[in-house]
A and B are shown apart, each in its own frame.
Chain A
Amino acid sequence: MKPSREIGAFRWLTPCFLILTLSAPPVSAADTSSQARAILAKMAHATRTNNYDGTFVSIRGADTASMRIIHKTDSRGEHERLIALTGTAKEVIRRNDEVICIFPNERSVMVDKTSQQAFFGTAWRQPIEQVAALYDFSVLGGDRIAGRPAWVLGIQPKDADRYSYRLWVDTSSSLLLKSQVLDGGGSILEQLLFTALETPVVISESALQASISGEGYTWYRNETPPASSERNSGWEVGWLPRGFAMTEQEMHDMPKDKKAVKHKVFSDGLATVSVFIEKNEEQAVPVQGYSAFGALNTYSTLADGYQITVVGEVPAATVRQIATSVSPAVP
């Protein structure tokens, strides 16, 4: 099934691919794994270090939304602004690890510190050989997105515990132009598509300023103290798909009620799964069962009076299996 789909995609792309090969080095169809991984590494790097200004569409089922992203990197680091072009004019401004989310409808602003690591190539933090043991990487061909020639890359998992990906990467700037997350049956769960992308040498500071001053808005600051290992001990995740390892663990305070939540993050190098553990108040209605947002699945259950919720870009069966394996650690 997999080869035929790849061949099918390749055949469809052949005309574009032939055009591309005139300007790009030829790629052997036999083993494109190393080329695909090299393109991905360049993409991750370009996303963090290049200047760009683009408009893209996000498609999740029947849900579509459009937004603009402006990104600048200079001696002071990264500066980024996202603006919703459909619906409410929400904005996210990020300056290195500080993230400001503006919600005009709620007249609220949220300021958060993010883990810097989250923005610097988490996918390639693990040895690529380790990721390649779990997924097959390939160059499927060429295409044209937002008026730019692009490589089409395929990332296919070797088991059913995770999703597959298709990425269209600009041949000149190495920036992402289109992406798809697909389930085991080949159905597209989520897509991103750039409709315009510029890579200006200079981006003015004003382009990165929020259009809303935030005056009169309610500001929320998340100042979570660093996690201590004692507060995180006491829980075990009994089952994880092959290749998943814990990358982070921390305590969050839930907004408003400041309830402490244990948060463990696991990754196989590409897919990420979060496990949240929170004491369930007696009067509170526990969250139970599944929900899904495009490629993101969640499953919640109760264990020992605690609310266990698993969130991840993996199939529903995988989040459930992880959630039901969480138990208090045996001392």
Chain B
Amino acid sequence: MNLHEYQAKELLASRRVPIPNGSICYTPLEALIAARQLKIDKIVLKAQVHSGGRGKAGGVAVLTMNDDIRSRAAEILGKRLVTNQTGPQGKPVSAVLVEEVIPAEAEIYLGVVLERTGGQVTIMASPEGGMEIERLAREFPDKIFTVIVNPLRGLASYQARDLAYRLSNNNSAATEIAKIISSLYQLFLDYDCSLVEINPLVVSGDRVVALDAKVNLDDNALFRHPEMERWRDRSQEDPLELAANKDGLSYVRLDGNIGCIVNGAGLAMATLDLISLHGGSPANFLDVGGGASEQGVTDAMNILLDDDRVKAVFINIFGGILRCDVLARGVIKAFKTREVHLPVIARIEGTNIEEGRTLFSESGLPIELISSLDDAAKLVVEKAKAA
């Protein structure tokens, strides 16, 4: 689960990591009042969306007290922000963070991740902050320092300090940075994060401040942080993806017109690739899961059929735990409760295959069963083109 910048900053503040003075605003008037309350000349309005690249997309505005703050805030709050990460439909701006502008003498990158290969919490830091970490990794790889943390010992103070001295020549700033590094590491563990990032952490006079912050909570661990649910922002998610997740299904919206339902994430991804190879365009990724029940299958079909971009449906099942007869019943139930006029191509294999086939053929539904996966994929592509 991703958090907004202002939520991430709140978490940082709770761990005594310095953040800019400011407040979160939901209306243009609130933004104006918040700006005035900062009692400084220059402020920044930052659109709160789950995406990077907000500045380039017009979601960040630096203003003075002479500018029309209210109108600018209205403009930002009213938009769907389209960044290089949101896709063309963009994301609605939920709120605007109004903060003091802090002149930066130095910009530092700090990040904490669970590194996949070694399976250990890793701190990444660079004195060249302010740019995206991917670009940093490309252009200044030798300016990225990493510390792998021993899970039995945790992060020692000397490790945080050694890293801090490499990030800043200013000794008092380095002392502050060391504390921040330790706080970030602890935050990462305490909330089961997948990422905690400050970019940039700025040194400004005798202040060290987190100008931007990102915290992603690992979805697998949310069950043990139920209080974080209050920060979920559904407006930042695709509605069909949300509906699917509620049913315990994995669903990702794509751009095409062939609705796909598959059991197993790897097979589901492979099915999309196969359809694409044959010139078709999938509308979605949908993994009904290995242990799906009949109702689970029905729910999955309904989510698919709720998507009016879908012109043909492709069902690809290799039944291991999920039996083919259970699948067939689930699909048939979905079709019988609504009028479906779409071509449906199904290729099913595995446990109880014969029962599944019989159920489909006796259902009277226009479901074509093809035994060859390749032929089935080619056929559904044809059907979608013809529709």
On whether the two chains bind one another, the answer is no
The residues of B with any CB-CB pair to A shorter than 8 Å are none
